[in-house]
Structure 1
Amino acid sequence: MKVIVAGLSKTGTKSMADALRMLGYSVYDYMENYEYLHKDWEKIFAGDGTTDDFRRMYKDVDAITDTPAAYFWDEIHKAFPDAKIILTTRDNEERWFRSLKVQGDQVREALNPLWYLSPTYQSFRSYTNNNGLAAYGTPWYETMQPINRIKANEMYYRKAYRCHNAYVLQTAPKDKLLVYNVKQGWEPLCKFLEVKTPSEPFPHINAGGKMVADLYRLHPTFIRARREIMIALAIIGVLISCFFYSFYALFLS
């Protein structure tokens, strides 16, 4: 582990993940943490994680971005004390919350009752809810459900954002910390990491939190979930057909 991006979601974490990959780092972002490590994270969410767990989880990974890793940055840094820490921030708290809300709206639009037929989706939903509880004190997916009465508490989110950033600033070793806005581009990032500046433009991914539709459409996790939905629907169709056939044979023949 060489780089720990400690900024919360919606502080340019997708851009950071892409930028670090362009610089040659292997990166675990939100979905990689789910795809490869969600069982470990469920253990950590339950309060049973250890420094040795983090050391094992990330021994072959160069960098981590986004929650839940960003929220547990200090524990991960104990496992990798030589890693550098980057606190990604937004111009101001208002922009951060507005971006978070837009992404929440995108998730709400993408939700469909059929997703509940997929074990993969149920696993991802649990992971995401527990991540929200850890980082913000609220189950993220539950606040996205129109039928639920749980609503995102703006003041609570803002407080969580302030507290997290303050904790990083107060706790991270100053000689290993970069406070960074992705608008600053390559120069401060590459200087901090002591790497050559790429000739390509700095990436800006998921501006305004609008990549959710592509995620649900293209990511292997949700491709697998859709396949499970189709299988479940086929089984339900067969069961319904068998029921009506049995009903016809028993009562109408």
Structure 2
Amino acid sequence: MTRRTGRTRPAKVFGLGLSRTGTRSLTAALGTLGRDTLHYPTDRAALDTLTRGDARFPHLDHYAGMTDITVVPYFRELDRIWPESKFVLTLRDDASWLRSCRRHWAEHPVDVPATDEKGHVYLQVKRFLRAAVYSSHDFSADRFTMVHRLHVESVTRYFEGREDDLLIMNLGAGDGYEQLAPFLGVPAPHEAFPHVG
């Protein structure tokens, strides 16, 4: 695939790692590097964009990018809408990732009643994204393992020949600012890479 030349809109950075792969940590690190990035928006504007399916998130008028599974179904569209953007795929070893997902899904079910409009919209976003990304509202180790494998294959195939546009990071294996800062063309800070729950 040939990369477009000329910049019609400001470049963005998108974290397209699956849930529990360090997307919050990536978001915090991007902030430290001067990229004010939004993690997993769950407001009405996000829901409207998700259900329209056009990836034109109004949040990106104010943020330098977005991370987590909000990006996953739409990374191709975001690449087209925001030319010259950078993409970061966060990974985690399978066993640790599955344990974390199992716990997270148990602690954050989608079949609870909402107490207000904000909670109702949040649950709709969560249900939509779990269905869109994992094809299920419930945790399944087999399904999640398959989804993870297919997602990594899809992302790496899409960005093949465009190594300057995709960075793959395994935060658990020690990847940090030494990889992320040069990828974004900024100096690496002296502080430790954030590890946010």
**Normalised by the shorter chain, which TM-score bucket?**
0.7 to 0.9
Superposed displacement of residue 59, structure 1: 3.3
Structure 2 match to 1:75: 77
Counterpart in 2 of 1:166?
A: 153
Per-residue deviation at 1:107? 2.4
Q: CA RMSD in A?
A: 2.1
Q: For each residue in 1:214-251, what CA deviation from the matched residue of structure 2 results, as whole angstroms up to 9, or x when unmatched?
A: xxxxxxxxxxxxxxxxxxxxxxxxxxxxxxxxxxxxxx
The residue number in structure 2 matching 1:238 is none
1:57-206 equivalence runs, <5 A:
57-90=59-92, 92-107=93-108, 116-139=114-137, 143=138, 152-172=139-159, 173-182=162-171, 183-206=174-197
Radius of gyration: which is bigger? 1
User: Hey, what does 2:16 align to over in structure 1?
Assistant: 6
Q: Is the 8 A contact 1:71 1:135 kept in 2?
A: yes
Structure with greater helix percent: 1
Q: Is the 8 A contact 2:39 2:67 kept in 1?
A: yes
Deviations 1:163-215 (A, max 9, x none): 11110000023231111112212101111111111122110011xxxxxxxxx
Shift in Å, 1:74: 1.4
The verdict on how the C-alpha distance between 1:36 and 1:28 changes in structure 2, with shifts beyond 3 A counting, is: farther
Identity %: 26
Q: Is the 8 A contact 1:11 1:88 kept in 2?
A: yes
What is the CA-CA distance between 1:112 and the residue it aligns to? 10
Q: State the alpha-carbon separation in 1 of the partners of residues 175 and 29 from structure 2.
A: 12
Task: Give the Cα–Cα distance (whole angstroms) in 2 for the partners of residues 166 and 29 of structure 1.
Answer: 23
Letter of the structure 2 residue corresponding to residue 200 of structure 1: E
Matched, 1:21 2:23: no
Q: 37, 44, 55: which one pairs with 2:45? A: 37
5+ residue gaps, structure 2, are 1-10
Shift of 1:57: 4.6
Q: Which amino acid aligns with 2:193?
A: F
CA distance in 2, matches of 1:163, 1:191: 28
Give me the whole-angstrom Cα distance separating, in 2, the residues matched to 1:190 and 1:36. Answer: 33
Q: Secondary structure in 2 aligned to 1:117?
A: coil
| Cα deviation digits, residues 99-151 of structure 1 (max 9, x gap) | 1112123325xx996x5332221221111001100110012xxx3xxxxxxxx
Unaligned segments of structure 1, at least 5 residues: 144-151, 207-253
Q: Structure 2 counterpart of 1:192, which letter?
A: F
